[in-house]
With several copies, the nearest count.
Chain A
Amino acid sequence: MSQMNMAQALNSAMDVMLGRDPDVLVMGEDVGYFGGVFRCTDGLQRKYGARRVLDTPLTEGGIVGAALGMGVYGLRPVVEIQFADYAYPAFDQLASEAARLRYRSAGEFWAPLTVRTPYGGGIFGGQTHSQSPEALFTHVCGLKTVIPSNPYDAKGLLIASIEDDDPIIFLEPKRLYAGPFDGHHDRAAASWAGHPLSEVPQDHYSVPLGKAAVVREGGGVTVLAYGTMVHVALAAAEETGVDAEVIDLRTLVPVDLETIAASVAKTGRCVVVHEATRTGGYGAELAALVQEHCFYALEAPIARVTGWDTPYPYAFEWDYFPGPKRIGEALVRTMDARA
């Protein structure tokens, strides 16, 4: 075990997999010699050489297309897209190709790609370094979408993703790389040190895809969250004193409906939170699923606390961010709703 922040844990996952499997390679813009703009691949090229940890041309469509061809050959490319906002030029290769290879060839061809990319706000990145595009991927069948919220899960989920034979979109909450973040941007930045989930085994282990974690038990209301929002939701629960059960989804597709439904069956209330814009966000799918499966248990409307339906505005980051105050209000409102 060692103490790692999330960037280090991700680094360790790639390190372990590069070490174990000669077919694993890491590629992306500035990931090689430099070690990545968020340092997630720091030292890997030094350790494994430029052949295994490749700097690429600046073209996300090209990177994913080439990685896909490598995957078809039999390699396991781990691709970094520098910011999730820049995944769009690769959208065709992801949605039309990576997601469909296995299906359209009836299992003859597939590409076990893992596409890592930092997403979300909280670092004053402005509208093109802050987006949360998960819902664009969760709608594409054939892709799996994974989002960790802490160093332990980050490493275990990334290893599971690299070992998985389906194409995976692995979204990394960039605001959590260095420390947990409860949404109180006006307080001193926290570090992972001391956080139980920053104790990370140095060796190989994995956290299974498709399994959520109940990170806070409670009987009053179920909060569905992932990534940064897990920490913000926990803070909101503490601060309001609402008896909230907070679920960290970890995998968005396939989602762990069993854990969700069991919780809502118990609490009868549900709040869904994400940083992405509201309309058509993944929260809509969660709300739809919950009311489909728990209708008769529900005592209040399912609330969504999300980013606004605007681009992420640079100077208004904290007015945009669905912080503990907005989540707390939704918790209280949901608890107060008449049954």
Chain B
Amino acid sequence: MTPHSPLSLHIPEPRFRPGEKPDFSDLRTSAPGEVRRPEVDAPAAEFRDLAESLVRVLDEKGGAVGPWDPKLEPERLRLGLRHMLLTRAYDERMMRSQRQGKTTFYMKSTGEEAVAVAQAMALDKGDMLFPTYRQQGLLIARDWPIFEMACQVYGNAVDRLKGRQLPVMYSAREAGFFTISGNLATQFIQAVGWAMASAYKGDTRIAAGWIGDGSTAEGDFHYALTFGAVYRAPVILNVVNNQWAISSFNGLAGGETATFASRAIGYGLPGLRVDGNDFLAVTAVTQWAAERARRNLGPTLIELVTYRAAAHSTSDDPSKYRPADEGSYWPLGDPIERLKDHLIAVGQWSPERHTQLAAEAEETVLAAVKEAEAVGIMGSGRRHSPATMFDDVYKVMPWHLRGQRQELGF
């Protein structure tokens, strides 16, 4: 054995800290239209390169190019734009509500709206969604009432979750939207289980799960890929790589040495990496994965490359750990602007109509939120009775909870 020098520990560090000038030129990317589109039934081993390239459809001039162009009707694109604008307006509004003390907490999805909106629209109504807290766009794209969402955030008397959950931890069975867990990653394997059940029953509905880049480090991520591969579950497994997990950059989840899409390779699954701010690319990739699932070909892992433009939550101050203007250097732009530009480029939209739609979205949100505020906000107005606190721990309340409810005076 030759003598070796002392070992040392590699500590991953994001490239830019507050005060530094960001430069994303080494982001692994591909030219719009460049990446090939395999058949959905092609063996995963034949297109591993897709886990490291970046599916993109929208080009710089607003054109839609290449084999992944989903060729959506303009009507549908405008609907997508509307959902994204609503999502953004809702986020803005609720964040302001938090600053005004009407709620204790809020989490925005700013800059990532295409992920949830395009994916919801690419799936069928009956497909079951297992989201994280940053896919409010799924609910909006499924026409879930913003009023209902705001009531949850306010924990008021109309809140379907009876004031039990932290703001934004929605649940909407009728919308096929699974109850959000505060414990990261747990939903990923649950989505696979649901999909297994659908296959078990000979159903045609598929499942989709979302997870953040940071949360991929949890065991549930590995469970999901393992069960998905072993039983070929009809599920779409989405990693939303928005670069950050609170203050931790994605290198701390292994993003320095490999893409998240490439995790699929070791399980024999297809992994696709897609420009998460490209509404068309996200749509196309999701449709492709859904078709695979529906044809009983099993799961697809999709890495959606995007950027968390806002703070992690209202409790966070990102300027403490990343350059305050880092987002403006993000090379994949803003999903709303890019879809708008595309629609204008193809003659299906105008700056005026856009301004009008954005204003309408804000009004719609404002009206719904006001209505919710009239019911109650955190700390004032109508809320559920504290007696309801003892319901739903079990299907039928056992004696000890009845006794405790009585202790509380009900």
A residues contacting B by CB (< 8 A) are 25, 29-30, 33-34, 37, 50-51, 54-62, 65-75, 85-86, 88-89, 92-93, 96-97, 101-110, 124-129, 141-142, 144, 164-166, 210, 253-255, 257, 278-279, 308-311, 313-316, 319-320, 326
CB distance A308 to B408 under 8 Å? yes
Contact with B171, one of A97, A106, A126 (Cβ below 8 angstroms): A106
Interchain nearest-CB distance for A57 vs B (Å): 4
Interchain nearest-CB distance for B178 vs A (Å): 7
B238 CB within 8 Å of chain A = no
Contact with B189, one of A25, A34, A65 (Cβ below 8 angstroms): A65
CB distance B392 to A125 under 8 Å? no
Contact digits for B176-191, partner A, Cβ 8 Å, 1 yes 0 no: 0011011110100111
CB distance B389 to A313 under 8 Å? yes
CB distance A314 to B197 under 8 Å? no
Q: Which residue of B lies closest to A88 (CB)?
A: B183
Say whether, besides A313-B163, A314-B155, A69 and B179 are in contact (CB < 8 Å). no
Write 26 A-B pairs (CB below 8 A) sorted by A numbering: A33-B247, A34-B246, A51-B9, A55-B247, A55-B252, A57-B214, A58-B217, A59-B219, A59-B222, A59-B226, A62-B220, A66-B193, A67-B193, A74-B201, A86-B184, A89-B219, A92-B186, A96-B181, A102-B395, A106-B171, A108-B171, A109-B171, A142-B393, A257-B400, A310-B390, A315-B163
CB distance B190 to A33 under 8 Å? no
**Chain A residues positioned under 8 Å from B248 (CB to CB):** 29-30, 34, 55, 58
Task: Number of B interface residues at 8 Å Cβ cutoff, please give it.
Answer: 83
Say whether, besides A85-B182, A103-B164, A254-B400, A109 and B394 are in contact (CB < 8 Å). no
Q: How far is the CA of A93 from the CA of B227 in the complex (A)?
A: 15
CB distance B179 to A109 under 8 Å? yes
**Chain A residues positioned under 8 Å from B165 (CB to CB):** 104, 126-127, 314
CB distance A310 to B196 under 8 Å? no
Interchain nearest-CB distance for A143 vs B (Å): 9
Interchain nearest-CB distance for A208 vs B (Å): 12
**Chain B residues positioned under 8 Å from A25 (CB to CB):** 200
**Chain A residues positioned under 8 Å from B389 (CB to CB):** 308, 310, 313, 316, 319-320
B328 CB within 8 Å of chain A = no
Q: How far is the CA of A128 from the CA of B350 in the complex (A)?
A: 45
Interchain nearest-CB distance for B246 vs A (Å): 5
Interchain nearest-CB distance for A332 vs B (Å): 14
Say whether, besides A51-B200, A126-B166, A314-B166, A97 and B400 are in contact (CB < 8 Å). no
B4 CB within 8 Å of chain A = no
Interchain nearest-CB distance for B211 vs A (Å): 10
**Chain A residues positioned under 8 Å from B247 (CB to CB):** 30, 33-34, 55
Say whether, besides A29-B248, A85-B183, A105 and B161 are in contact (CB < 8 Å). yes
B315 CB within 8 Å of chain A = yes
CB distance B253 to A57 under 8 Å? yes
CB distance B214 to A254 under 8 Å? no
Q: Which residue of B lies closest to A56 (CB)?
A: B252
CB distance A311 to B164 under 8 Å? yes
CB distance B215 to A61 under 8 Å? no
CB distance A74 to B392 under 8 Å? no
B13 CB within 8 Å of chain A = yes
CB distance A50 to B227 under 8 Å? no
**Chain B residues positioned under 8 Å from A255 (CB to CB):** 400
Instruction: Tally the A-B contacts, defined by beta carbons under 8 Å.
Output: 259
Q: How far is the CA of A271 from the CA of B315 in the complex (A)?
A: 37
Q: How far is the CA of A153 from the CA of B393 in the complex (A)?
A: 26
CB distance A62 to B390 under 8 Å? no
CB distance B171 to A66 under 8 Å? no
B321 CB within 8 Å of chain A = yes
CB distance A57 to B230 under 8 Å? yes
Q: Which residue of A lies closest to B228 (CB)?
A: A66
CB distance B164 to A309 under 8 Å? no
Q: Which residue of B lies closest to A70 (CB)?
A: B197
CB distance A68 to B320 under 8 Å? no
Q: How far is the CA of A169 from the CA of B13 in the complex (A)?
A: 29
Name which of B13, B227, B391, B394 has the most chain A CB atoms within 10 A of its CB. B394
Interchain nearest-CB distance for B188 vs A (Å): 8
CB distance A108 to B166 under 8 Å? no
**Chain B residues positioned under 8 Å from A144 (CB to CB):** 394
**Chain B residues positioned under 8 Å from A164 (CB to CB):** 395
**Chain B residues positioned under 8 Å from A105 (CB to CB):** 161, 171, 173, 179
Name which of A57, A70, A255 has the most chain B CB atoms within 10 A of its CB. A57
**Chain A residues positioned under 8 Å from B183 (CB to CB):** 85-86, 88-89, 92, 96-97, 128
B294 CB within 8 Å of chain A = no
CB distance B164 to A315 under 8 Å? yes
CB distance A61 to B223 under 8 Å? yes
CB distance B186 to A314 under 8 Å? no
**Chain B residues positioned under 8 Å from A142 (CB to CB):** 393-394
CB distance B182 to A50 under 8 Å? no
CB distance A102 to B227 under 8 Å? no
B11 CB within 8 Å of chain A = yes
Contact with B190, one of A57, A65, A107, A308 (Cβ below 8 angstroms): A65
Q: Which residue of B lies closest to A315 (CB)?
A: B163
**Chain A residues positioned under 8 Å from B227 (CB to CB):** 56-57, 62, 66
CB distance A129 to B245 under 8 Å? no
B29 CB within 8 Å of chain A = no
Interface residues in B379-405 (C-beta closer than 8 Å to A): 383-384, 386, 389-395, 398-401, 404
Say whether, besides A106-B160, A310-B390, A73 and B104 are in contact (CB < 8 Å). no
Q: How far is the CA of A319 from the CA of B386 in the complex (A)?
A: 7
CB distance B164 to A314 under 8 Å? yes
CB distance A70 to B193 under 8 Å? yes
B194 CB within 8 Å of chain A = yes
Known: A69-B195, A86-B183. 11 other contacts (CB 8 A): A57-B230, A58-B245, A66-B189, A70-B196, A73-B201, A75-B200, A105-B171, A107-B392, A109-B173, A141-B393, A166-B394
Q: Which residue of B lies closest to A96 (CB)?
A: B183
**Chain A residues positioned under 8 Å from B386 (CB to CB):** 316, 319
